[in-house]
Amino acid sequence: MTRADVTHGTIFDRLEPHVRRWERWALWLLVVLPLVSLIARAVMSDLGANPIERLERETGEWTLRLLAASLAVSPVIAITRWGWLIRERRFLGLATFFYASLHLSVYIGLDQFFDVDDIVKDVLKHLYITVGMAAFLMLLPLAITSTKGWIKRLGGQRWNRLHRLVYPAAVAGCVHFLWAVKKDITEPLLYAAVFVVLFALRLVPQRSRGRR
Amino acid sequence: MLIKRPDDIPSSEITPESMYLNRRTFVGAAGALALGSVLAPNLLSARATSDGQDDKLTSEEDATSYNNYYEFGTDKEEPKVLAASFKPKPWTIEIAGLVKTPKKMAFEDLFRALPVQDKVYRHRCVEAWSMVIPWQGTPLKDVIARCEPLPSAKFVEFTTLYDPRRMPGQAAPVLPWPYKEALRMDEAMHPLALLATGMYGKPLPNQNGAPVKLVVPWKYGFKGIKAIVKMRFTDKMPNTTWNDANPSEYGFYANVNPQVDHPRWTQSKERRIGQFLKIPTLMFNGYAEQVASLYAGMDLRKNY
């Protein structure tokens, strides 16, 4: 029984017990299925004519999608009053970092095959790679400090300030995608639009919706 | 079928064995190799060739399902699907500009009695991937002879069909339609330049540019204009589509040049489709011996 049951009779209150039973399963599926699909298609040689490019593209897309999902948690809580959902913000944030690491690993290990020379040149000379690396480096401290231990160590205020890095990381991720495509920027613009909406929902101060 | 051997690779292009062996090994190296051997069965054979060059034919499956043909969608897997119902016949090609008699010719008439040759060429996309493709076609110079250009003609310009009903990708202005490309006359008259009407012993598939596409193997693939409906001879350097769309990234000459990077990605290496490790890109895509003289004295960094 939540506080909401006592004070409200909204649609979200009625949905809540059902959602609460299944949402963790659903989130695990969301996170695991893309990877399973990629592995299955790799094993069956069904990644198309340029498998490495496909791996890079899809791991990158899922990084952005999971990042958007993790940024959507707080706005969803504001609308539904499902406070318990906050734990999924960390879950989705770590999932984001997982796919970001996969994306980086494909680039370093498969695309460039660990050629440090080529990688350094790429990062220094080609802006979309520079920006991509910056995005990853901004997600790294967020993943490391995602634990309760770190929240205690930093204190709530400093932890919150550090985790505002998610905003420039999201921007860098979108710009990386935008600059990576050859000409058709439809998809990168779509992602950017989604992030603009999420930013607006989170950064515009909540007025009479109760505490954040 | 006569398979032409690609030219020998100069020893300066051979990648030293030590370069391949001297890699920092990360924890994931074993995993990457496992994944790689799953992704490309000839991973091991690619590493075994000491010069890194393996001019095996690309599989027909790959060559016909991985296409940059924005007239049928901007994803490389889309043209095979969206061009499936495209009808390349009947087809008319207009001969225009500085020619003896401007005219419109039926496709069959333009190519009538011209011998069809087998040419196995390397195809190098500006995006740094490449293929080896067995084309069937007619040397461009033979078709140009039939067009009877005037001596004043310095360039030949090609145009693709413009019909958004038949080419759904043209409904969006992702490129300034119709697609145009052009060659200097001496480039066009070079024996390597080909008007391809088939590949792998079959007629050109729709997604590869049916019924006829230009193949200029020493240049980046975007010079290989597809579904040609017009050849116009002119004395002024024509505009070309990718140069119009993004002048700082795509030039008129577009000669394959490992020393001149694209602003956003490197051109010194390429991914040969079907192989795992990248291979060094060769000057003029390995056709330097045949074509370098066309550009003697030109600054190829300025004329990219």
Query: pLDDT at position B264, please?
Result: 84
Give A49 to chain B, closest Cα distance, Å.
5
- pLDDT category at A205 given cuts 50, 70, 90 is low
Query: pLDDT at position B3, please?
Result: 52
pLDDT greater than 80 at residue A164: yes
- What's the pTM value of the predicted model, to 2 decimals? 0.85
pLDDT greater than 70 at residue A44: yes
Q: Report percent pLDDT > 70 for chain B.
A: 82
- Which range, of A7-11, B129-133, B237-241, averages the lowest pLDDT? A7-11
Closest-CA residue in chain A for B61?
A49
Query: pLDDT at position B35, please?
Result: 58
Q: Is the pLDDT higher at B43 or at B124? A: B124
Give A41 to chain B, closest Cα distance, Å.
10
Separation of alpha carbons B280 and B181, rounded Å: 27
Separation of alpha carbons B53 and B47, rounded Å: 10
Query: pLDDT at position B31, please?
Result: 55
What's the rounded mean pLDDT across residues A5-20?
A: 81
Query: pLDDT at position A9, please?
Result: 76
What's the rounded mean pLDDT across residues A63-67?
A: 98
- Give, in order, the Cα–Cα distances in Å from B24 to each of A120, A186, A207, B27, B28: 14, 38, 54, 10, 11
Query: pLDDT at position B141, please?
Result: 97
Separation of alpha carbons A16 and A177, rounded Å: 36
- Which range, of A110-124, B20-34, B151-165, B284-298, averages the lowest pLDDT? B20-34
Of B218, B198, B6, the C-alpha closest to B116 is: B198
Average pLDDT of chain A to the nearest whole number? 92
Mutate to test the interface with A, among B71, B278, B279 (most CBs of A within 10 A): B278
Query: pLDDT at position B45, please?
Result: 32
Residue B149 DSSP symbol? B
H-helix or E-strand containing B272?
strand B269-272
Render pLDDT for B249-271 as a digit per residue (tens, 0 to 9). 999 999 999 999 998 889 999 99
Judge whether A183 is closer than 8 Å to chain B, CB to CB: yes
Q: Is the pLDDT higher at A206 or at B187? A: B187
Render pLDDT for B14-51 as a digit per residue (tens, 0 to 9). 555 554 554 444 444 455 555 555 554 433 333 222 23
Separation of alpha carbons A21 and A18, rounded Å: 5
Query: pLDDT at position B32, please?
Result: 52
Q: Report percent pLDDT > 90 for chain A.
A: 90
Query: pLDDT at position B48, please?
Result: 26
Query: pLDDT at position A206, please?
Result: 59
Render pLDDT for B186-202 as a digit per residue (tens, 0 to 9). 999 999 999 999 999 99
Query: pLDDT at position B14, please?
Result: 52
Query: pLDDT at position A177, please?
Result: 98
Closest-CA residue in chain B for A109?
B32
- pLDDT category at A203 given cuts 50, 70, 90 is confident
The ipTM of this complex is 0.87
What residues have CB less than 8 Å from A29, skipping those under 6 apart? none
Query: pLDDT at position B49, please?
Result: 29
Judge whether B179 is closer than 8 Å to chain A, CB to CB: no
Q: Is the pLDDT higher at B264 or at A179? A: A179
pLDDT greater than 90 at residue A8: no
Could you write out the three-class secondary structure of A102-159? Answer: HHHHHHHHHHCCCCHHHHHHHHHHCHHHHHHHHHHHHHHHHHHCCCHHHHHHHCHHHH
The per-residue DSSP string of B217-236 comes to TTBBGGGS--SEEEEEEESS
**Is the Cβ pair B23, A113 closer than 8 Å?**
yes
Separation of alpha carbons B226 and A124, rounded Å: 36
H-helix or E-strand containing B151?
none
Check: CB of residue B117 under 8 Å from CB of residue B138.
Answer: yes
Q: Which member of B61, B174, B269 has the closest CB to residue A184? A: B174
* Among B residues 13-52, those touching chain A with beta carbons less than 8 Å apart: 23-26, 28-29, 31-32, 35-36, 38-40
Residue B268 DSSP symbol? S
